[in-house]
Amino acid sequence: MKFDVNEIRGLFPVLHQEVHGKPLIYFDNAATTQKPKAVLESLLNYYEHDNSNIHRGAHALADRATQYFENTRKSVRDFINARETEEIIFTKGTTESINLVAMTFGRKFIGKGDEIIISTMEHHSNIVPWQLLCEEKEAVLRVIPIHDNGELDYDAFEKLLSERTKLISIVHASNALGTINPVKKIIQAGHAVGAKVLLDGAQSTSHLEIDVQELDCDFLALSAHKLYGPTGLGVLYGKRDVLESMPPFLGGGEMIKEVTFEKTTFNDIPFKFEAGTPNIGDVIAFGAALNFVNTLGKKQIKAHEDELLAHANQQLGAIKGFDPIGTAAEKVAVISFNINGMHPFDVGQMLDARGIAVRTGHHCTQPLMKRFGIEGTVRASFSVYNTKSEIDQLAEGVARIAKIKNK
């Protein structure tokens, strides 16, 4: 498909509205992306024509719903190049995927004195589950420091590694800074000491080509709603042998083979980790979202987003009082910044009055904000439907706000 941003924008109904009397400019894509018509239509079509529970029905609606649901599992497999469809588990999102690993793999394989490594730039959902596990198991949480430009201190990471390291859980691309971490090197180094490696792919999967076999990660967590799909849905990828070694996450229907009052035998993967009625309609709609991305092509999407990021750096960087936070050489399309002396929330409100939607605050990365000695940032994050003209309007708004402060 030829990349035409105006044609692409026409596929997203939500973009064509006014906010406070101004055309909406949506730069909050790192929090959630907007949904193309095909995703909305897929969701409506399921509830209008195919609504049924899956896997166990003996009627036409159940057959259709099951087929469409499992087709999405195959699409996810292909999207990240997993070896097998059974390695794809549906969850509520990246947060639940990480918690699933903590509560199953972690409880079984992490013991007293063992060590888990994360980084300073992690989202709270990749900090808190490991803190809870370490407290329960008397394990130790190690944290990789970062440089002033927002890049990982790889030398410090290597010094943290030892035979006590049992798990490394690392963000692929930072939601707060945009930094792309050298995850392949991290995975190789982790495996060299016998550790398993989990990648938080919540941000990276919408911007970067992902090949879990080439990366050789043991786990990958991602969210549908950052990939033009519905909210409340995510994926955990895990290598077959690792998943099969883990106990179930939740008990109930679908995750069993046989239940008696004396003993329960558990289902095969992925169903062992999918207790209860799943989010059927949203899983099916996620398939439409993946098809949208595949039709455009990740390379074209990334090229467009890289152009937007470069343009934004140029336009915003020329503004007196603009203070970027995180200037790593390798980034996804995210810019975090402050305007000297102003609270991020005030800046966000003033931009909102101009119809520009950005995110403000600590972005669920409070330890990272503490590392930089700030309370939070303004974050503008770009996607496939954004334009250079919109970035020019952001820069104009930021320049006006900076002048108000500097008067």
With a cut of 70, say whether residue 304 has pLDDT above it: yes
Cβ atoms of 210 and 227 within 8 Å: the answer is no
406 pLDDT band, cuts 50/70/90, is low
Nearest CA-CA partner of 290 in 2, 117, 58, 36: 36
267 pLDDT band, cuts 50/70/90, is confident
Cβ atoms of 101 and 89 within 8 Å: the answer is no
- Residue 262 is predicted with a pLDDT of 87
pLDDT in tens, 74-122: 999 999 999 999 999 999 999 999 999 999 999 999 999 999 999 999 9
pLDDT in tens, 333-365: 999 999 988 999 999 999 999 999 999 999 999
Sign of CA dihedral 210, 126, 135, 156: positive
- Residue 1 is predicted with a pLDDT of 65
The whole-number average pLDDT for the span 57-81 is 96
Rounded to whole angstroms, how far apart are CA atoms 398 and 392? 10
Residue 41: CB atoms within 10 A of its CB come to: 12
b/e map of 386-405 (b: 16 or more CB within 10 Å)? bbeebbebbbebbbebbeee
Amino acid at 338: N
The whole-number average pLDDT for the span 224-236 is 98
Q: How many CA atoms lie within 13 Å of 91's alpha carbon, on the beta-carbon side? A: 25
Sign of CA dihedral 401, 404, 405, 407: positive
- Residue 56 is predicted with a pLDDT of 80
With a cut of 80, say whether residue 291 has pLDDT above it: yes
Percent of the chain with pLDDT over 90: 92
Rounded to whole angstroms, how far apart are CA atoms 365 and 124? 6
Rounded to whole angstroms, how far apart are CA atoms 87 and 90? 10
Cβ atoms of 115 and 165 within 8 Å: the answer is yes
Mean pLDDT for the chain?
A: 96
- Residue 325 is predicted with a pLDDT of 97
pLDDT in tens, 17-46: 999 999 999 999 999 999 999 999 999 999
Residue 178: CB atoms within 10 A of its CB come to: 25
Please, what CATH class does the domain formed by 5-30+298-399 belong to? Answer: alpha beta
How would you classify residue 234: left for phi > 0, otherwise alpha for psi between -120 and 50, otherwise beta?
Answer: beta
For domain 40-294, give the CATH number: 3.40.640.10
With a cut of 90, say whether residue 206 has pLDDT above it: yes
- Residue 252 is predicted with a pLDDT of 86
The yes-or-no answer on residue 364 being catalytic is yes
CA angle, residues 225, 364, 109, in degrees to nearest 5? 85
- Residue 407 is predicted with a pLDDT of 58
The domain segmentation of the chain, as residue ranges, is 5-30+298-399, 40-294
Nearest CA-CA partner of 319 in 342, 302, 345, 303: 342
pLDDT in tens, 115-170: 999 999 999 999 999 999 999 999 999 999 999 999 999 999 999 999 999 999 99
Amino acid at 6: N
Which of these is catalytic: 364, 371, 388, 405? 364
Nearest CA-CA partner of 95 in 126, 73, 117: 126
Model pTM score: 0.96
